[in-house]
Amino acid sequence: MRRRKPTSKAGTARKRQLPKHMPDDINNPLSNSGNDLPGNPGTASGAIPGTSGGTASNVRENLESSRQHLREAAGNLRSNLEASKGHVKQAAGDLRAAATATASELRGRAEHAYSDARERVRTLQDDGEQYVRENPTKAVLTAVAVGFVLGLVYRR
């Protein structure tokens, strides 16, 4: 068996390269790359962009303010969670009560339908017995005819 060698590399993907004058981390906002490019005022001094001077006390104040805000948000989240937990428990209790009531109602209906069906069967049985007692000849001839027809049907 011979192996075929590929004739062209037209279908292969080519690796995309960045231009040589662009730094690798140009899209990273925390890097200072590109700040020393010509025409970019940048922050070559090392100060944090968006702050006035970037002093340590301002950073600490911002950090403490952020911590306090986070604590407040966590407290609000806890209280909302507790309230939601109570609502869920109440809804589950309501749903359980409704399901129990529906199950009780359906059980009552089923018991009523069963007792009605039992009563009808008893009535039909009593009526059949009474008919046989009143008309014994008809009952016996009817039974013989039904037996004969069933015998013919099952014989085939």
Global pTM value: 0.39
Q: Report how far Cα 20 is from the mean position of its chain's Cα atoms.
A: 50
- As a whole number of Å, the end-to-end CA separation of the chain is 69
Domain count, the chain: 1
pLDDT in tens, 71-119: 999 889 988 988 888 899 999 999 999 999 999 999 999 999 999 999 9
Q: Which amino acid is it at 23?
A: P
Q: How far apart are CA 61 and CA 64, in angstroms?
A: 5
pLDDT in tens, 41-76: 444 444 555 555 568 888 888 998 999 999 999 889
Residue 41 lies in a domain: no
CB 58: neighbour CB atoms within 10 A? 13
Residue 16 lies in a domain: no
Helices 56-134 + 136-155 axis angle, to 10: 120
For residue 128, the enclosing domain spans: 57-144
Residue 105 lies in a domain: yes
Residue spans of beta strands (DSSP E) within 12-150: none
pLDDT in tens, 114-141: 999 999 999 999 999 999 999 999 999 9
Contact yes or no for 53/47 (Cβ under 8 A): yes
Residue 149 lies in a domain: no
**DSSP class of 6:** P
